[in-house]
Amino acid sequence: MEREMKTKQDVTERLTTLRKIASLKEIKWIERAVQAHIASVFMMTGSLSTVKRYVDLFHSHGVPVFLHVDRLGGLVSDRQGIEYLANHIRPTGIISSKGKVIRIAAHYRLLTVQRMVLMDQESVDKSIASIQEFEPDFVQVMPAILPEWLERIHKQVPQVALIAGGLIDNQSQMQAAIKAGALAVSTSSPSLWDHPLPSIVPRAKPGQ
């Protein structure tokens, strides 16, 4: 029986408890991710012809699955493509750096993760403006090893839960990201999926 984690509250509670997201860039790590103690999966690979079996596999284990639609082979991420994804593939949600795709996915009741890549102040300002305009459910901030920038972004968009990702290769970096305000951390390193993070109290939001 397929079990899906569809609501934002369900996913947020799971992220708050388990903190770690498996970022899957290679199919060979799927079985490892299924057995790991993770909050969710970010599928960064695959195609329309294969991805449904992986979505169904993770859902059967109660694990929410987000598909990176900018990288999904065979998918055109327009209204028709996202509608097909929502009705036939049925992931928990999607990942995209494109605000218009975020808006379309939300229309079809998919949860949304908007990617934000930190390159310079201009890119940060543009991303903040896009987040405020398109209102994703979560924001993935990359790279995760810049906790001071995570803090700044957390203060600018406190209404959106942040997920830190990119260049993570040890638990100390994961802990630093969470202390800086990230709800969870995504990593493609299987060795980090299996070890629980200690209890971490993130820094308070402005006004708290």
CATH number of domain containing 184: 3.20.20.70
Q: How confident is the model at residue 200 (pLDDT cuts 50, 70, 90)?
A: low
- 206 in any annotated domain: no
Q: What residues make up the domain containing 157?
A: 8-192
107 within some domain: yes
- Cβ atoms within 10 A of the Cβ of 142, count? 19
Q: Let me know if residue 127 belongs to a domain.
A: yes
Q: Is residue 200 part of a domain?
A: no
Cut 0.75: pTM above it: yes
CA distance 41 to 156: 27
> Is 45 contained in some domain?
yes
Provide the H-helix boundaries in 48-98. 51-60, 79-84
Does residue 110 lie within any of the structural domains? yes
**Alpha carbons 139 and 133: distance in angstroms, whole number:** 13
Query: And the tokens for 28?
Result: 């060979």
The Cα-based distances of 19 to 13, 72, 132 in angstroms read 10, 25, 24
Model confidence over 135-153: pLDDT tens digits? 999 999 999 989 999 999 9
Q: How many domains does one find in the chain?
A: 1
Provide the pLDDT for residue 202: 54
Residue 199 lies in a domain: no
Say how far apart CA 42 and CA 170 lie, in whole Å. Answer: 19
Joined tokens for residue 70: 């900018």
How many Å is the maximal CA-CA distance in the chain? 48
